[in-house]
């Protein structure tokens, strides 16, 4: 075998993985959108066969010897191929450190956990979920030990979602946010409140869907390659490659902003996923590189652009066209103020831009302490409620609106939450950098996203997984990450809105 032949096999292997991923993503997407309600078990059978095939394809001796061969001839590979080989080997080696039976048992545990969590949330009963969650935390710790015995287990968890992230870095980051955000919230809470009643009323689903497409078009999303579905929880997924991406939303008939900002948020994820360089399609380098960078894009579009005065001025006439009756006596300025109302509240996904990171911090602290052995899973609800009171001043009425609200833990996503806050902060610094060469205000006020998207494509999107997230970010920023851009942005924007 020579390098050319090996590379050909490597591309075929990656294309095969893409096809399995295509099938599995689509089965998942179908299940969440249009599949008949009673078909979960049928879907489960197919998914179990396909994921076993994927596992075999990834860990077969043939694959390993191919990858080792290529790894040994790194000097003959271009940067893309070398990176793909590196990522493939890294994943496979990690997979192999976990005993197969424990891996399968964990996959089964997560299927059970999803079901138990749904029921527990419905009944607002943490005790129901507690034994399963204990097992998830235990397994997470055990796997962390298998894969990276030299690391603190929670550092391993953080690194999984944002390569290189550590507790030390998180602590420092969150301390910086807290120092600025907590006083800001205090001032806002004492200022006269904003009336957001213009966003309340009755907004039928058909008109909301029409408005969703308006938003997607305005953002410059290519509707030939991006679909929109309806699900309980909004999400974004690629189907096989960046050539087919789907976003979903959920329509709240009594609240116009919920779906509006879900669509813009997921649309940001979609733009990132859809704009990998075409050469990367059907390889391991296709799509977004980390959750932090992904959230930097989704929250960039949702908040930095979507909740800006310039964008609201542009989109408002289109909003009025979709909801002529409901918005006939409303002004763009009223909408702008309403979507930027700040109130300490219970639910992360409905939180405003200012209080949002406090929700994340609470989850980060709790995860860190549970994984570190300082907090028992059974004590999570009490600690959750105590921290909500301390950080946000709100009383949690029940576990449904408290510790059971998010799906992340039941899905095994421990270490995921910080990427939301990090992404928000990355975004603010990226915007600052972008403004050096792009007149963002002008673009937004004209509904011309092209120059903004072009900047993001050039600096972030097209690179797919070619670089580690920190490298990608620093290349784009031209300097080190610094959360003060984010806190400065929040202070400036909300001081103006609340006349502080």
Which residues sit at the interface with a copy of itself, rule CB under 8 A? 15-16, 18-19, 22-23, 26-27, 30, 33-39, 41-43, 45-46, 48-50, 53, 206, 222-227, 229, 239-241, 243-244, 246, 282
Q: Rounded distance, CA 376 to CA 365, Å? A: 13
Q: How far is the CB of 395 from a copy of itself (least distance, A)?
A: 40
**Nearer CB in complex with a copy of itself: 175/223:** 223
Task: Report the alpha-carbon distance of residue 177 to residue 169 in Å, rounded.
Answer: 12
Pick the closer one to a copy of itself by CB: 16 or 163.
Answer: 16
- Give 24 or 414: the residue with its C-beta nearer to a copy of itself: 24
> From the CB of 241, what's the least distance to a copy of itself, in Å?
6
CB 237 within 8 A of CB 268: no
Distances (CA, A) of 135 to 142, 159, 367: 10, 21, 14
- Of the residues 52, 108, 224, 266, only one is catalytic, namely 266
Identity of the residue, 267 or 413, whose beta carbon is nearer to a copy of itself in the bound complex:
267
CB-nearer residue toward a copy of itself: 238 or 296: 238
Contacts of the segment 67-73: beta carbons below 8 A, 24+ positions apart: 67/10, 67/92, 69/1, 69/6, 70/3, 70/6, 70/7, 70/10, 73/3, 73/6
**Active site annotation includes 266:** yes
Which residue bears the tokens 């072009």? 454
Give me the least distance between CB of 475 and a copy of itself, in Å please. 29
For residue 162, what are the CA distances in angstroms to 110, 291, 473? Answer: 22, 6, 12
Long-range contacts, 429-434 (Cβ 8 Å, 24+): 429/477, 429/481, 429/482, 429/485, 429/486, 430/296, 430/300, 430/456, 430/459, 430/460, 430/476, 430/477, 431/300, 431/304, 431/485, 431/489, 432/485, 432/489, 433/476, 433/477, 433/478
In angstroms, what is the minimal distance from the CB of 42 to a copy of itself? Answer: 4
Question: Which residue, 223 or 347, is less far from a copy of itself as judged by CB?
Answer: 223
By C-alpha distance, which of 333, 265, 267, 266 is closest to 303?
A: 265
Q: Shortest distance, CB of residue 46 to a copy of itself, whole angstroms?
A: 4
Residue 444 CA to residue 220 CA, distance in Å, equals 12
Burial (CB count within 10 angstroms: exposed 0-12, middle 13-18, buried 19+), residue 123: middle
Nearest distance, CB of residue 343 and a copy of itself, angstroms: 36
Both tokens of residue 139? Answer: 């397994």
Say if CB 417 and CB 286 are below 8 A apart. Answer: no
Shortest Cβ distance from residue 13 to a copy of itself (Å)?
11
Contact 319, 383 (CB under 8 A): no
Q: Considering the complex, state which of residue 236 and residue 410 has its C-beta at the smaller distance from a copy of itself.
A: 236
Cβ proximity to a copy of itself, 37 vs 328, nearer residue: 37
Please spell the DSSP secondary structure of 137-160, one letter per residue: HHHHHHHHHHH-TTS-HHHHHHHH
Give the nearest distance from C-beta 452 to a copy of itself in angstroms: 22
Distance CA 41, CA 26 (A): 16
Instruction: Give the span between the Cα atoms of 121 and 249, in whole angstroms.
Output: 20
Strand order through the sheet with 236-239: 226-230, 241-249, 236-239
Active-site annotation, residues: 266
């Amino acid at each position: 075998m020579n390098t050319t032949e090996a590379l050909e096999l490597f591309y075929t292997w990656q294309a095969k993985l893409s096809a399995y991923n295509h099938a599995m993503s689509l089965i998942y997407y179908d299940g969440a959108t249009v599949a008949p309600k009673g078909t979960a078990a049928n879907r489960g059978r197919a998914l179990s066969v396909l994921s076993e095939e994927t596992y075999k394809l990834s860990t077969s001796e043939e694959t390993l010897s191919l990858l080792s061969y290529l790894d040994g001839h790194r000097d003959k590979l271009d940067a893309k191929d070398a990176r793909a080989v590196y990522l493939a080997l890294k994943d496979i080696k990690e997979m192999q450190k976990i005993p197969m039976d424990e891996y399968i048992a964990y996959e089964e545990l997560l299927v059970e956990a999803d079901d138990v969590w749904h029921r527990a949330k419905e009944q607002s009963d943490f005790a129901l979920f507690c034994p399963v969650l204990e097992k998830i935390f235990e397994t997470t710790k055990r796997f962390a030990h298998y894969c990276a015995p030299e690391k603190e287990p929670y550092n391993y968890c953080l690194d999984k979602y944002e390569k290189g992230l550590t507790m030390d870095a998180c602590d420092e980051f969150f301390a910086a946010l807290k120092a600025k955000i907590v006083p800001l919230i205090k001032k806002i809470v004492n200022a006269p409140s904003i009336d957001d009643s213009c966003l309340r009323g009755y907004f039928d689903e058909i008109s909301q869907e029409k408005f969703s497409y308006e938003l997607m078009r305005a953002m410059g999303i290519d509707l030939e390659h991006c679909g929109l579905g309806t699900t309980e929880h909004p999400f974004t997924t690629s189907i096989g490659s960046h050539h087919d991406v789907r976003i979903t939303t959920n329509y709240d008939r009594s609240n116009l902003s919920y779906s509006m900002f879900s669509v813009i948020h997921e649309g940001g994820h979609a733009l990132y996923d859809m704009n990998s360089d075409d050469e990367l399609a059907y390889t391991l380098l296709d799509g977004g590189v980390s959750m932090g960078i992904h959230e930097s894009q989704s929250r960039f579009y949702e908040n930095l652009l979507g909740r800006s005065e310039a964008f609201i001025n542009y989109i408002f006439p289109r909003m009025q066209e979709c909801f002529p009756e409901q918005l006939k006596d409303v002004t763009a300025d009223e909408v702008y103020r309403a979507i930027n109302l700040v109130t300490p509240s219970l639910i992360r996904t409905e939180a405003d831009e200012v209080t949002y990171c406090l929700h994340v911090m609470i989850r980060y602290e709790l995860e860190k302490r549970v994984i570190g052995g300082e907090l028992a899973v059974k004590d999570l609800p009490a600690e959750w409620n105590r921290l909500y009171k301390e950080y946000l001043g709100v009383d949690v009425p029940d576990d449904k609106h408290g510790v059971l609200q998010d799906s992340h833990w039941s899905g095994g996503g421990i270490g995921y939450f910080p990427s939301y806050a990090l992404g928000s902060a990355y975004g603010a610094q990226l915007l600052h950098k972008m403004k050096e060469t792009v007149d963002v205000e002008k673009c937004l006020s004209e509904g011309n996203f092209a120059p903004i998207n072009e900047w993001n494509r050039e600096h972030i999107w097209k690179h797919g997984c070619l670089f580690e997230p920190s490298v990608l970010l620093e290349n784009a920023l031209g300097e080190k990450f610094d959360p003060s851009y984010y806190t400065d942005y929040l202070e400036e924007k909300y001081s103006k809105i609340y006349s502080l």
